[in-house]
Structures are given as C-alpha cells and as structure tokens.
Amino acid sequence: MQVLQSQGAASISDNSVSKYSMRASVLVPVKNGGALWGEVLDAVLAQQAPWPFEVIVVDSGSKDDSVEQTRKRGVRVEQIAPSEFGHGRTRNYLASLSHGDFLVFITQDARPADAHWLQRLVEGCDSAPDVAGAFGPHRAHPGARLVTQRELQEHFAGFGHALSRVRMEDRERFDREVGHRQFLHFFSNNNSCLRRTVWERLPFPDVMFAEDQTWMLAAIKAGYSKAYVPEAAVYHSHDFGVWETLQRNFDEASSFQRDFGYEIQRSLWRALASAVLLARRDARWLRQTGVGGISWVKHSVYMAAIELARTLGQFLGTRHRRLPGWLLGIISRDQALQRGRTA
C-alpha cells in the first residue's frame, strides 16, 4: 500500500474515490501543541486505511514550533488569528477546507492508539445510513495518575464494549429523563467522525464550550443516530490538579446549564455529599487494584481532593449566572484560555 502526500495532504489509496475525492478528512485545530503534537501527527500519518484520506490543520497563533512540525511532515496547515478561534467556528472552517465524505476530528493531544484507528472510526460512522456521527474512547496516556485512569475507564465503559448505535426511540423518556438524554447526546471531538452530508445540514454551533455535545443533541433531535466505536481509541488524558479540576467542571456545568438547561449540582450540601460518596468509591477502587499502605493513603487523599474540586466546580458552574464577572474570570478555565488566544 503506497502512502501519497501532495499539497500538504496525506492519503493512502488503493481503490476508487468518492464525489468529494476523499473517503475521510482528519481535521485538527492546534495552538502550541508542544512535543506531543509531533507524535499525534506521526500516528495519524501512519494510519493504514484502504481508501484515500487527507490531513488538514488550522493553527490559531502558536508561539512554539507547531506550524513548522506540521509543514515539515507535508501536512496542510492554515493559520488564523487567535481572536478568530471558536470551538465550533474553527471546526466548521476546517470542514469547509476538506474534501472527505467523513470528517474526523481529533485534538492536538489525542494520539491514535494504533494504525487502524481511522478505518475503524469511519466504518463505525458508516455502519448505518442514519448515523450522524461516531466517537471512540479515550485512554489515559502512559504514566497518567491513577485518578485519571479511573475516570476514563469508568466513563467509557458505560457505552459498552462493542460497536453500538443509539437514537431517540422514546420522546417522552428523552424529555423526562436527564440521564438518558445526556447518554444520547454525549459526543467528543477529541475522537469523533461526522458524516459530511449531516454536517452540511447541521454545522457546529458557535458556542463557548461543548460544541460537540450541542451538535449531537441537534442531530439526535433531527432523527439521526449516534455510533460508539470502542476499538477506535485515542490516548487523550489530562492530569489536572485540584484547581484545574474545579475550573474544568465549572466550565462544563456552566455550559450544561446554559446550553442544555441541566443543573448538575443544585445545592452546596448535595455537592459535598457527592464528593464524600465519590471519594469512598475511589478508595475502594484503589484497594481493588492492589494499592495499599502509605501509597493507598496518599492516593486516597489526593483523589478525595479531586472529587471535592469536581463537585464544587459543578455547584459554582450551575450558579454561574449569580457570580460577579471578576470571579467568573478567575474560575473559568475556558475564559482564561480565550484570553490567552486573544493576547
């Protein structure tokens, strides 16, 4: 199988092409990708697929060598001003530059786990004609903290261990059960594939956070289904500290309250009680994985602090409309990143 590179696009070809000339487009927004960005690019370019694909990058003001790393690998990179970046807006721009029937989105820190990731993800998205998009699991990077490993394992285990498709079958249940609704619209652009014809009808919304889940909610409401592809994994994890965990959950809860109407933590007492329950669960999990002695105490205390930060962030995010602007600027990680993009 021959690997072809031209005009900054990488493709692997051995059969006919579609009306868009590409089976798939791998699309990546980048800013200051660091050393990991080179590893991500190499893993993408090493994909073994039986049809052509291209890789396109949009950089929003990197001050490191991300642009140079991209260009030296022969990959097309377009540059925009930091102020022009938006989670949905930039991904729509990437899609508009592409030629693939399927639009595959990853982030600069999401490294495909093997050489068949792309083929499996696209095949999952094409497993039924009504599938709007597919997503795959995230694995913790080697050496990640135990709390990070647990979070990812627990979260993605909930979607099953085989290719699956879900759609809204019961509108009354969808409207009534928040948990069911969240399960249906969960989606992650760290590792996703969209059917191009659906994106053309439903582009990403221009929102501050959770453009992927907002998009999938619209797709589910429009009658499409969603696929989960457990064998199309990427290594993507963050060892957030206590403060960063609070910030991240503040942003997520704010977005869920603003864009979906969810109130994740309505009261302070409920948030504290949730933190205690989660900390006890984590301590039991540590025991089950063979951690003991001083190491168990150290990890248990740290994981308890993480759980407290998580639930307090959710509580503050649920009440974000009542907080003064100066405090929002401190707590919100996304606002801090946006300020960095416009600097």
Any idea where the domains of the chain sit in the sequence?
3-235, 242-342
* pTM of the model as a whole: 0.85
Angstrom distance (rounded) from CA 78 to CA 95? 12
pLDDT, residue 337, reads: 60
User: 3-235 belongs to which CATH class?
Assistant: alpha beta
- Six token digits for residue 112: 């495909």
Identify the segments of the chain with pLDDT beneath 70. 1-21, 335-343
In this structure, what token pair is assigned to residue 231? Answer: 């064998």
* CB within 8 Å of 9: residues ≥ 6 apart: 54, 55, 56, 75, 76
Mean pLDDT of the chain: 89
Looking at residue 333, what is its pLDDT? 79
